[in-house]
Structure 1
Amino acid sequence: MVRSVACAGVMALLMIQWGSAAKLVCYFTNWSQYREGAARFMPSNVAPDLCTHLIYAFAGISDQHQISSMEWNDLSLYQELNSLKKMNPKLKTLLAVGGWSLGTQKFTNMVATAQNRKTFVDSAIRFLRTNGFDGLDLDWEYPGSRGSPAVDKERFTALVQDLANAFQQEAPTSGKERLLLSAAVSGNRGHMEAGYEVDRIAQSLDFINLMAYDFHGTWEKVTGHNSPLYKRQGEQGVNAELNVDAAVQLWLQKGAPASKLVLGMPTYGRSFTLASSDASVGAPASGPGVPGPFTKEGGILAYYEVCSWKPSQRIEDQKVPYVVRDNQWVGFDDVESFKAKVAYLKQKGLGGAMVWSLGLDDFSGSFCNQGRYPLIQTLRQELSLPSMPPSPPKPQVPAPGQPLEREPGTSPGHGAFCQGKADGLYPNPRDPSTFYSCAGGRQFLQNCPRGLVFSTSCSCCTWA
């Protein structure tokens, strides 16, 4: 009995220590600025105390093997994102290089020789320091796959080691904290075995962001959940590995320290168009789901685009929900499934949670009636991180000629103005310095900066 009490005390202490050190890693995407109305997402929408680590996605690689910006205003957005550290000095920011759209060729060219790798490493250090980042996140999708040759598996290891060594050597000379190094990695066995010497890269990485989602999607002919926690009863072979648990177990077995493995969670769902009246898990699908009003991409819906669909059903074996509306089938994550996943990662002793992405949660609290960032707030609470204050984010004041997002703190209205209107921005006939953002028949009254008026010619605030 005494031994049991002592063990319980030790476990409680370990949980407290683990909780205080848990990472909550959140990705900011530089294309979320182009979403319309209340869905437009900028660094000013990021609560500075929401996540422990912010990762800006994405930077690219030039033909000269140097890291490079990708969007026209990246440098300005870097500055805005990194300014959040003035309000939260504990916050760490990293720059992610790569992403699905970049492909593999530029990575393959860059890692091909030691000199090319050195060129990249040197440029990365300069770029990160110049723009105020605390580290680099490697998001090569994927070494040894998608046209990348088999030798890139070993060359990716060499890149990771070169970066880690250079970061270590640079810190004393710069007088600053050592730059952090992380990598976003696949949860798919094929990609993992083709691309990663897990035990070797794990030694050099500060943490590993496991992309434990996109297990099913519209590249398949039947419905399946985007990010199931476990396999479904009866699943065998490859299908039995298309889940979070299988991906985590695989990375641990291959030599990733549990404390460095950060479990990725999606704030979006994967959608299908049903081919028949069968709406079950594994039902025939004719193609991707209809694009959402804000994300506008077939087969994918932000949490804020699907949270109001009722009623949702749960896949009990997999601890995740799905919802059906007419011929649309969506497998997504909600507060309950995020709680189950945090309980799982605690059980496994993992290093924390990663979120893709900030702008796909209900960041303004306008859509789901669950407050701001309902999914990511759940992760904070379940990871025993301090609760985020309820104050609204700082309003963004754009330059003339740029549209203004919904003013923070303004609740959506249910008046008649937007009824029957297409989603978009409309002038307020009563006040030219304000305008309406219509979304799904709901209206959001927004203010232009002082001295500007709304213009229908550009759908933006401009000089009178």
Structure 2
Amino acid sequence: MEVVVLQPGCIFGVFKPEFHFGSIKSESLREEPGYQYLLLSIHWLRLVCYFTNWAPGRPESASTFPRDLDPFLCTHLIFAFASMRNNQIVPETLQDEKILYPQFNKLKERNRELKTLLSIGGWNFGTLRFTSMLHTFGNREKFINSAISLLRTYNFDGLDLFFLYPGLRNSPTHDRWKFLILIEVSLVWNAFQKEALLTHRPRLLLSAAVSAQPLHLLFCALSFRLLDFINVLSYDFHGSWEKFTGHNSPLYSFPEDPKSSAYAMNYWRNLGAPAEKLMMGFPTYGRTFRLLEPSDNGLQAVATGPASPGKYTKQAGILAYYEICSFLEKARKDWIGYQHVPYAYKGKEWVGYDDIRSFQEKVRPDFFLAPAYRFSLASMDTHLDR
């Protein structure tokens, strides 16, 4: 049995979890009176966590560098995000290259079992550069060679493809099949494995982020076999772009509604994805709304937009977990029974988030028998004073 110590509000996914509470010391966190940690006993685990490269730029004590992370918190850490220039993967900033990459991979000196990956893409990255790279064999080969070079230079153990989404958002339909070619023909068999054989080093890992909603049939059985794990984006189901309140990451919804974690996981399993490779996504933030009327404060209440930005994240419509903790001090909390998740409201402000109870529901082995990942560590309580 392995034991992992998680901070308040952390996201996790395990097989056969057992929950205990106590004042347990975690390597990279302050030991302060009354600061409670969650101790999770694990019989089987793959826990994948993302670190975002904008986390160091947050104000005051919310600023988080890779050196602040507990290297024993997750089995796999993914650095988000790299960029692309002339069909080659490149660091997004000079700070990434000179400071964050070295700090990130130095965590493996403290935990030799830890695996690190570099993610390319993300929502703000868009699709145009992916489309250009996928367009010809030469462009794909250029990308692959640059990926291997960058990963080995900075001591990453693998690559995470965060393409949102092939065939959508101005990406042509044929990008779906070219993306499969990148994985099935070029990236794994002709590059990663060949490089491992030639250098006598472990093969670079490969993961991909996939939609939680049945937008298209992107992957086939071969893709499932070649990917080391698959990160299902089972969050952002609802948000302030809608006219009614809705939860960020409900476990369940109505049978005809695909916007739930359970629907997403079962959808990919029905396509043939092995349960042990499917990673359910757990956000370390909540989605907020501004209510039209304070008295109408439940699920599907009329909303007029996002609630106020958080003190640290300063982004309307989102609160990091450490900001939710402050919000809850004076808020009314409630539970959405059929969705198995909580929400809270205060005046005209409303937030859907996760808590210990909803985490327990989401990791029950009789639901999915699947591990999980979280996005992102920088939205958790890494070193904030409580």
Output the TM-score relative to the length of structure 2.
0.86
Q: Hey, what does 1:100 align to over in structure 2?
A: 123
Alpha-carbon separation, structure 2, partners of 1:207 and 1:140: 15
Offset of residue 72 of structure 1? 2.6
Give the secondary structure class of the aligned counterpart of 2:363.
helix
Q: 8 Å contact 2:50–2:376 — kept in the other structure?
A: yes
- Give the AA of the match of 1:210: V
- Give the AA of the match of 2:91: S
Structure 1 unaligned runs (5+)? 1-13, 368-464
Alpha-carbon separation, structure 1, partners of 2:383 and 2:113: 23
Offset of residue 15 of structure 1? 5.9
Question: Which residue among 307, 321, 331 is the counterpart of 2:325?
Answer: 307
- Give the AA of the match of 1:349: L
- Note closer, same or farther for the CA distance 1:82–1:224 as it changes in structure 2 (3 Å cut): same
* Residue 30 of structure 1 pairs with residue 53 of structure 2: yes
- Give the AA of the match of 1:298: A
Offset of residue 44 of structure 1? 1.3
- Note closer, same or farther for the CA distance 1:15–1:338 as it changes in structure 2 (3 Å cut): closer
* Residue 188 of structure 1 pairs with residue 213 of structure 2: yes
Q: How does 1:25-174 map to 2 (within 5 A)?
A: 25-62=48-85, 64-75=86-97, 76-161=99-184, 162-165=186-189, 166-174=191-199
Alpha-carbon separation, structure 1, partners of 2:93 and 2:312: 20
- Note closer, same or farther for the CA distance 1:70–1:209 as it changes in structure 2 (3 Å cut): same
Q: 8 Å contact 1:223–1:283 — kept in the other structure?
A: yes
Q: 8 Å contact 1:24–1:51 — kept in the other structure?
A: yes
Alpha-carbon separation, structure 1, partners of 2:351 and 2:80: 25
Question: Which residue among 326, 342, 366 is the counterpart of 2:347?
Answer: 326
Q: Hey, what does 2:266 align to over in structure 1?
A: 249
Structure 1 stretches of at least 4 aligned residues deviating more than 3 Å after TM superposition: 18-21
Alpha-carbon separation, structure 1, partners of 2:42 and 2:278: 15
Alpha-carbon separation, structure 2, partners of 1:267 and 1:356: 6
Q: Hey, what does 2:235 align to over in structure 1?
A: 213
- State the identity as a percent: 46
Give the secondary structure class of the aligned counterpart of 1:359.
helix
Q: Hey, what does 2:298 align to over in structure 1?
A: 280
Alpha-carbon separation, structure 2, partners of 1:44 and 1:125: 25
Higher relative contact order (CA 8 A, sep 6+): 2
User: How far does the alpha carbon of each residue in 1:119-145 deviate from its partner, in whole angstroms, 9 at most, with x for none?
Assistant: 101110000000110000000000011
Offset of residue 21 of structure 1? 4.3
User: How far does the alpha carbon of each residue in 1:262-314 deviate from its partner, in whole angstroms, 9 at most, with x for none?
Assistant: 11101100000011231110011001111101000010000110123133211
Question: Which residue among 331, 342, 357 is the counterpart of 2:363?
Answer: 342
Give the secondary structure class of the aligned counterpart of 2:364.
helix
Q: Which has the higher Rg, Structure 1 or Structure 2?
A: 1
Alpha-carbon separation, structure 1, partners of 2:137 and 2:42: 40
More helix by share: 1
Aligned residues: 342
- Note closer, same or farther for the CA distance 1:177–1:21 as it changes in structure 2 (3 Å cut): farther
Q: Hey, what does 1:399 align to over in structure 2?
A: none
Q: 8 Å contact 1:198–1:251 — kept in the other structure?
A: no
Aligned CA-pair RMSD: 1.7
Alpha-carbon separation, structure 2, partners of 1:69 and 1:86: 22
- Give the AA of the match of 1:281: L
Q: Hey, what does 1:423 align to over in structure 2?
A: none
Structure 2 unaligned runs (5+)? 1-14, 18-40
- Give the AA of the match of 1:73: Q
